[in-house]
Every structure is written in structure tokens, then in C-alpha cells.
Structure 1
Amino acid sequence: MAEPKSSKLSHYDLWCRWKEEGDTEAKKGLIEKYIPLVDYVSSRMAAGLPKNVSKDDLVSNGSMGLIDAIEKFDHLRGLQFETYASWRIRGSIIDGLRQGDWVPRSVRDKAKKMEDAYAVLEQRNLRSATDEEICSYLNITDKEFQQMLQEVAVATVGSLEEPIREEDAETRMSLLVDDKAQSPESKVHETYLKDSLTAGIDKLTPKERTVVSLFYYEDLSLSEIAEVMSLSPSRISQLHSKAILRLRGALGKHKDQLLQK
């Protein structure tokens, strides 16, 4: 049986036929070439989610993200599609999870309390808040604090890919990809957000910073990070949760200013 014509074309040829000629067969060829990305990203995200979350649902939502990425990607800008697509796939999966309300309200409330605690204490003391300070602020024991971290871990997966605003599809991480020309207003948003994220990252502990770097930039799974850092997966999950709560707390206090700009 003869191979489909699209499978014999190079990636660049497929991009040219799809973007410049609107060749739907070329688009199908691109989807076939990059569909393994969906399974890869879905598998990584599934590792940190409750068992009741279906992997098939993640793949389905991720596939929509891949198609969206192929439609919006500019092949002439010299960017790496795999990186761009991975962010779009994650964002689509997270959007599907949020619509499905997969995190119990009680867990969201606990995550918000911890997020606010980090924001208040770190703004007040101008340094990273310790576990003991968080416990004192929330009036809980260290054991209760560790339990809360375990519970909110599922609510912090992919937090950097969540939309900046409820009505906007633009995510914090997607701002790092210049996939199209920006208006002056968008540029202000980008610069402001990057400055806020940088300030937040500076307040992370060394271990938290390492986890964020390995997870979001080196694309390692939490279990792989555990091996690299010689720590247990549960400890890595806690470090990830605390890092994201700190970052969300730092960004939260700037939310009103960001929306006004």
C-alpha cells in the first residue's frame, strides 16, 4: 500500500503547504507527526493528578491544544514548535480540568488560604516565609500544614499555564513565546508579569527554585526530579506546591494593577 504523500514531506514542507497554501492534508500530516507530544504531556500531568481523572480525557483535551497550536504557530519566526505546542497542550488540558471542576471546593479554599499567607508574610518580611511562620499565621500545627500541602498538591499542577484572567486564554507561561506581534498594551502586560514572576522566583528557597526549573524548563516529571535531587516523590510534590503557592501569592497582590494596565 502506498504511503500517504504527506508522510514523505519534510516538516518544513508540511508547514509551508499548510500555512501558505491551506493544504488540509499537510495539516493532517503535522498532526500525525506531533501527536506523540500529546501523549507525553498527558502522561506527565497524569502523574500528579487524582486517579479519578481519566487519561483519555487528558489526551482528548491535549489533542485540541495541539490542533490550536498548529493553527496559530508561525513557522517563519524560527521558534521551536515542540516547546510552543507543549505549552498549548498543557493549557488545553488544564482548561478542560478546570471546566470539569476536578478539585474539590474545600481543597481550593485551603490552597487560597496558603497562597494568601505566603503573600502577606513575604510582603511583610521581604523574604521567604518559613513553614513555622505559615503555621503560626494559619494557626495550625506542622502536621496539619504537611497534610494541607498533600491535599493542595493536585491544585497546583500546571499553575503557570493557567489563564492570567478568567476571560483570557493567555497564560503566564505563554508570554515567554513571541508567537505573534504584540500591541504596546500587550507588551506592558508581558513586561509587568515577567517582573512579578522574577521577583516571586527570587523569594523561593533554593530547592523550590530547582524543582520549578526542572519541572517547567527542563521538562522532567516529579518522579525524575526526585531521582535527580535524591528526595522522595512526596517531598518533591510538597516543594512544588510551596513554590507555586509562593508564586501565586506574589502575583495575586499585583492582580488589580495588572488588570488596570
Structure 2
Amino acid sequence: MGRPAHAAAESRTADDVEAGIIALWHTYGQSREQGLRDRLVLHYAPLVKYVAGRVGTGLPAHVDVADLIQSGIFGLVDAIEKFEPERGLKFETYAMQRIRGAILDDLRSQDWVPRSVRSRARDVERALERLGGRLQRTPTDRELAAELKIGLGELRELYAQFQLTSVVALDELIAAGRAAGSAGSSLAESLPDEGAEDPVASLVDQDSRRQLADAIAQLAERDRVVVTLYYFENLTLAEIGKVLGVTESRVCQLHTRAVLRLRTKINEQLET
């Protein structure tokens, strides 16, 4: 008898909290008082920790997650100030886009990726493009290593060095080839929110989403699984490692490889 009563009490508490947040949003929408905004920030702060943790799992060890959280708070504040409930979007979905965008903007501004690493990443992308054109399929790591005249182990070490560039790069794919005025859209903005009124249609144009979907479909199966589980199913790299039966560091390599290949394929589509 105690358990149903306890469950009912928990349900009432959750309903009370939800009703309180709805009322807070309504009052904030009318007054725009900073104190009310700060209360909303405190309520939604766990979203920042969640997004920062997800971004951080794909970054080198020297990147401090606490710094990512600090950047993400600015994204949350921006989301609260710009959120328009009448558009039918779920706030959590919208806020996570803004938080992730703020974190990636900060990573870009600090430019933690050495110029030599960026140059090497471009070399790998060009080799992928050459091989893909010759083979008419996605090349294997062994074929790519041979094209670059390096060993397979060295190629995988390069993937590890490219981690930071790959995390930022995939969000830039949606914006590739667009006019500067609309280049702010990110990959996160292309993901559907089942509870909303089709926000995808208003945030990302059909052609860009088609290009990304086509590029993902052409990836090797394991690369496609990593991209799908990480970006669309919201699994962490460690969780993906358990699914695939490999280490988290290997998933990082697979993720980086997938992003490099996606970027190459998107560029090929834009040139045709």
C-alpha cells in the first residue's frame, strides 16, 4: 500500500514543479526581470552539465570540462532570453542547441588545435577524396594509410590528434555552402524533436539535410553506427564502445574518421 501512495506523492511533486516552471516562464515573458531569468537558469543548469559532458567525451584530456560548462551557461542564458514558446519548440531541445553552440564557439575562439594538426587533417581529407574518386567507394584505413605513405598505427594516432577538429567540424557541415546570413545552423538543429511541431523544417533547409543524410548513408557500417548512436541516439562514447565491443579510445578514433569522411563527402556534393 505504501508504494502506490509514495508514487502518487512523487507524481504530485513533479506536477507541482512543472506547473511552477510554466508559471515562471509566463511571468518572465511579461516582465523580463533578471531575477526570474536567473531562477530559470538554475532550474535548467543540469542541461549544461549534460551537454558539456557529451562534448567533453570527444575532446583531448587537456580540455577542462569545467571550462565547457562555463561556456555552456552563456548559451543557456542566451536560450532563455531568446526562447519563443509560441513557436511550439520544447525548451530543452532548443536550449541544448544553444548550449552546444556556445561551447563550440568558445573552442573555436581559443583555437586549441595546432596549425600543424589542421594541416595534417587537410592532407587526410584530400587523400580520402582522391581515393574515393579512384575506388568509387569509401576507402579502408589500410588503403588510406598506404595513400598517405604511413603505417596503420600512425594513421590511428592522427585520428586521435584530430579529435578536437572533428567535434567542431561536424556541426559546421550543415552550414557548408550556405550564405553567411544563414550559416549559424548546426547539426544539432537538424535533429528532430518528436514532441514539437516539426522544428526541423524551420531551422534547417531541406537540401542541406538531404546532403548530410546522403553522406551518412555512404559511410562504412561501423562509422555510420558511431555517428547515429552519438548524434542521434545521444549515447556517450563509452556507451558506444560497449555496443561495439571496443574501447572508448577506439570509438574516439572511429568518430574522428567518420567526421573526416563526412566532411569529404559533403564537399564532393557541393562541387558537383
Q: Whole-Å Cα distance in 1 between the matches of residues 229 and 135 of structure 2?
A: 28
Q: Contact (CA 8 Å) 1:172, 1:193: kept in 2 or not?
A: no
Shift of 1:141: 2.2
Aligned with 1:107 (options 110, 114, 117): 117
Distance 1:153 1:22 in 2: 40
Distance 1:138 1:110 in 2: 10
2: CA distance, partners of 1:146 / 1:181: 38
Any unmatched runs of 5+ in structure 1?
1-6
- Cα RMSD after superposing both structures: 2.7
Is residue 208 from structure 1 mapped to residue 207 from structure 2 by the alignment? no
The aligned residue for residue 28 of structure 1 is: 38
- What pairs with 1:1-261 in structure 2 (closer than 5 Å)? 10-162=20-172, 164=175, 168-176=183-191, 190-255=205-270
2:184 is paired with a residue whose SS is: coil
Amino acid at match of 1:243: A
Deviation at 1:162, TM superposition (A): 3.6
- Quote the Cα distance in structure 2 between the aligned partners of 1:17 and 1:124: 62
Cα drift, residue 9 of structure 1: 5.5
Preserved contact between residue 75 and residue 98 of structure 2 (Cα < 8 Å): yes
Q: What is the match of residue 3 of structure 1?
A: none
Count of aligned positions: 246
Counterpart of 1:242, as a letter, is R
Which string of whole-angstrom CA distances, capped at 9 and with x for unpartnered residues, describes residues 77-121 of structure 1? 332222222222111111101110111111111222222322333
More helix by share: 2
For 2:268, the aligned partner's letter is K
- Distance in 1 (CA, whole Å) between partners of 2:184 and 2:216 is 23
Confirm or deny: 8 A CA contact 1:87 1:161 kept in the other structure: no
Greater CA drift, 220-229 or 79-88: 79-88
1:9-52 Cα deviation digits (max 9, x unpaired): 52222222233443443322221111111112212222332333
Asked whether the 8 Å contact 2:68–2:103 carries over to 1, the reply is yes
* Partner amino acid, structure 2, of 1:19: G
Deviations along 1:134-156, whole A, 9 cap, x unmatched? 12322222222122112212321
SS of 1:76's equivalent in the other structure is helix
For 2:68, give the aligned amino acid.
L
